[in-house]
Structure 1
Amino acid sequence: MQSIYAMHQNDSDNLEKEEKFLFNSIENIRDLYLIMLSALVEIRNSEEDFIEKSSKKHLATAEERNPNKKFINNQVLHMLAESNPLNIAMADRNINNWKNNDDYILLLLEDIKKSEVYQNYMHNNINTFEEDRDFVADLFTDVVAPNEKLYEYLEDNKLTWVDDIPVVNTLIAKQLRLVEPPKEGKETFNVPRLYKDMDDKDFVKDLFRKTVLNNVELAKEFIDKTPNWDTERIAEIDAIILKMAICEFLKFPSIPVKVTINEYLEIAKEYSTPKSSIFINGILDNLVKDYQANNKLIKAGRGLM
């Protein structure tokens, strides 16, 4: 939707260029995921470096000579640092953001040390994998992910990440809570795939291309159903949402009608005007009835209506 909207705004007709940008934006979601996870590793490394330097000071205090190493010995943080899939993915995508922006890591570490999550963890006598796991998950959810400075950095780095941050953070939080203790010969932490399979990736390309290439025809499908609204009065985002939904109705026989309607109503609620979802729901509902009456809606498979 955003890519089609960008094409309209830029008055672009270069389909290949815009499609490439779309797939680059999706690839960047993986980069965001890797950057957020690597922040946890770098925070731990930064604290270890601080402890080591403090212990070597000429006039080190008793606490500096014998520091509490529970944080830097956290089993889950070690697991992340030593994860082959994570390290390979970071190398492939050249993720080294925190090496060049270590001031953000120091700010995060400072906020972490002030947090109740950190204080409770550091001052109890529990030393189990489960506690380490719950601590890292809580730390990420309550302190790292909501950090305003971190959010500003990510927003400045790539504008497309603004919408991706909540999705990525939710995925990471879920992953961290499901981490299991290390097992011999088994990877303990894996980087999820961007696409479920090739069909998933093809769907992105097909929906984008079919909506753009059939722009005029798709618009005609709903213009007659909105007698009180001329094309200029329909919000551009609403028009794009309607075209994409109609494209799924007519050109993607395996996608259930209800799934299409629900998906685009959610998109409308998130990105368009307060009343858009009601307007779009009314149009799509009328179109489905019309298509069914005229045998124009052909869906394959069970339970697809």
Structure 2
Amino acid sequence: MQSLFAFKGTESDDFKKDERFLFQSIDKMSDLYFSMLALLIELQKKANSKLELSQKKLLATKEDINPNRKFADNAVLQFVSSNTMLKEVIEKRKLNFWDLDFEYVDVIYKAVLESDLYKNYMAKGPSDLKEDKDFIIDIYTEIIAPNDKLYDYFEDQQITWVDDLPVINTAIVKTFTKLKLTKPETFLIPELYKDEDDRVFAKDLLYKTLLNRTKFVEEIAAKTTNWDADRLASLDGVLLQMALCEFQKFPSIPVKVTINEYLEIAKEYSTPKSSVFINGILDKIVKEYKENNVHNKIGRGLM
């Protein structure tokens, strides 16, 4: 979607530069994932350093000497921070930029400490893994993921990360949901592609959409006479072109799967009305295909 939206050439162009952009952008998603985990490591480090400093106070209170270590010792944070393979990846890719940009760690740390989530969590007694997981997932989804300063920071770091954030945030929450302390270190280092077919599909979808762009735009325009032309030139037009490409050039992908996927993408990245618009256009096109018996899918129940 990003690559197609950024494309300014014609169907006769050499698409190699667009292919490079596509795969570089996909590879950078891994960097964003590891950067977010590096941020969690830094949060735990900060929690520990604060506790150590309080114990060294000249007039330390009983609470300073024997502090509540529940947050610093959270099982999920411990699992992430003690993962040597993860730390090696972060160091190798030079993704621990939080040492230099520590003010963002401070912002998140302060927001966590001031939250009711933190106060309620710390007020309870010793926790089990489920409570620790629930707490980290809650502060991640309610404090870290929606933080505007962090959002702006990532936009400055890598332009494509703004669009990748929802995907990465969802992936991290799913990872924590499935986390068990018996999991191997590789659990936090997922493969970017499920298999080589995934990589091939990404390239094929890019090339086949670009090579058939004029035809797809004409087909979409014929179904959108009552819609503003600007909408077709926007992200909605790109998503419709990609959907038509899957309809026509990928016979093994069920039509319903294609429609559902692009509706979800539209909800996440386009305007509030986009999913309704896209659903209406695709529904018209699919009905026409059925009536004319064209672009049949391979396999049972795929149309």
Asked if Structure 1 and Structure 2 have the same fold, meaning a TM-score greater than 0.5 normalized by the shorter chain, the answer is yes
Deviates more, 1:10-19 or 1:109-118: 10-19
Match of 1:301 in 2: 299
Match of 2:129 in 1: 129
Identity within the alignment, %: 50
Residues in 1 aligned to 2:150 and 2:11: alpha-carbon distance in whole angstroms: 34
Match of 1:83 in 2: 83
State the TM-score, normalizing by the size of structure 2. Answer: 0.85
Deviation at 1:223, TM superposition (A): 4.5
The alignment status of 1:119 with 2:112, answered yes or no, reads: no
Give the unaligned 5+ runs of structure 1. Answer: none
The amino acid of 1:260's aligned partner reads: T
Q: Identify if the C-alpha distance between structure 1 residues 128 and 243 changes in structure 2 by more than 3 Å, giving closer, same or farther.
A: closer
> In the TM superposition, what whole-angstrom CA distance separates every residue of 1:34-83 from its partner, at most 9, and x where no partner exists?
12122111111112122223333444444333322222222221111112
CA contact (8 A) 1:113 1:119 kept: yes
Match of 1:170 in 2: 170
CA contact (8 A) 1:288 1:297 kept: no
Deviation at 1:15, TM superposition (A): 1.5
Deviates more, 1:228-237 or 1:33-42: 228-237
> In the TM superposition, what whole-angstrom CA distance separates every residue of 1:172-194 from its partner, at most 9, and x where no partner exists?
223223322337xx448432222
Deviates more, 1:190-199 or 1:50-59: 50-59
Match of 1:244 in 2: 242
State which of 256, 261, 264 in structure 1 corresponds to 2:262.
Answer: 264
The alignment status of 1:43 with 2:19, answered yes or no, reads: no
Deviation at 1:259, TM superposition (A): 1.9
Residues in 2 aligned to 1:146 and 1:240: alpha-carbon distance in whole angstroms: 26
Residues in 2 aligned to 1:149 and 1:113: alpha-carbon distance in whole angstroms: 17
RMSD, aligned α-carbons: 3.1
Match of 2:2 in 1: 2
Deviates more, 1:285-294 or 1:254-263: 285-294
State which of 205, 210, 226 in structure 1 corresponds to 2:203.
Answer: 205
The amino acid of 1:5's aligned partner reads: F
Q: Identify if the C-alpha distance between structure 1 residues 248 and 188 changes in structure 2 by more than 3 Å, giving closer, same or farther.
A: closer
Question: Paired residues, what number?
Answer: 303
Deviation at 1:249, TM superposition (A): 1.6
Deviates more, 1:135-144 or 1:267-276: 267-276
Give the unaligned 5+ runs of structure 2. Answer: none
CA contact (8 A) 1:79 1:188 kept: no
Deviates more, 1:233-242 or 1:41-50: 233-242
Residues in 2 aligned to 1:113 and 1:237: alpha-carbon distance in whole angstroms: 39
CA contact (8 A) 1:155 1:161 kept: yes
Residues in 1 aligned to 2:179 and 2:279: alpha-carbon distance in whole angstroms: 41
Deviates more, 1:165-174 or 1:9-18: 9-18
Match of 2:286 in 1: 288
> In the TM superposition, what whole-angstrom CA distance separates every residue of 1:172-221 from its partner, at most 9, and x where no partner exists?
223223322337xx448432222221111111110001111222333344
The amino acid of 1:205's aligned partner reads: K
